[in-house]
Amino acid sequence: MRTAPVSLLAALSALGAVLLATTGSKADSPSGCEAWEVEYELSAEVQLSDTLMGAGDGVHRIGPGKVVLRFDDHGGRPAGHAVMLSYEMQDGFTVESSALFWRTMVTNATRTTATPAACGVVAAGELSAQTLHWTSAIHGVRTDGMVTCAGLFCGKFGAPPEGTSEVHTAAHEVLFEPFLLGEELKTFSMAYSVVSKMESPRQTSRIALEGREVRRACVAVAPCNPGSAPQE
């Protein structure tokens, strides 16, 4: 059996190594990323204040929720400009009040979402060091679901009617406080931000968030003219 010259075998081996290294770099290196899409699982607290005689004031745990952020790529890492692509939160909690010795219980089974504007963007911001500052309000925030009221205040002073009824709030804009991100942007926290302020019934609602990364992907960004949407 004839064998190939040693020099030819060495050349073929070297070429194979180069091809393998090139293929591996395309698969493993983030150098081709345009942006990073990161999904966070959310837990939250909602703080109610300014209610009639303070009867509904309090802090309640809610969730779970989800937010998806997209960061520009800088040297294989998320940095610089960022946009929020989606936001949702389960708002299940119960408020018990005993104003004037009349006990009333209101149970919320609602879901809050944000509606993307043009180009699929909910809000825009800038990441500086470990802080994501929002440069636009969150677009189209609305709450939908069911609310159940039991007690003497039901149907009075702006409280929902006795029994279970639907609730739908009109879409509005909400400006979040900055996201304070942890190491490698794996987690974040947000201080209380006002999400709604009503006069009838009188009530101010604030939300504080904690996020934990559950997915991260290198993505391409399709060209788009944002128009009136938060600027890309």
What is the predicted pLDDT for the residue at 31? 52
Burial of 23 (0-12, 13-18, 19+ CB in 10 A): exposed
- Domains, in order of start, for the chain: 33-219 (2.40.160)
What is the predicted pLDDT for the residue at 7? 45
What is the predicted pLDDT for the residue at 28? 38
Count of C-beta atoms within a 10 Å radius of residue 192: 15
Below-50 pLDDT ranges, the chain: 1-30, 228-232
Per DSSP, which regions of 75-130 are E strands? 77-90, 93-97, 104-113, 123-128
What is the predicted pLDDT for the residue at 13? 43
What is the predicted pLDDT for the residue at 101? 56
What is the predicted pLDDT for the residue at 131? 97
Answering whether pTM is above 0.85, one says no
Block residue for tokens 């408020």: 95
What is the predicted pLDDT for the residue at 85? 97
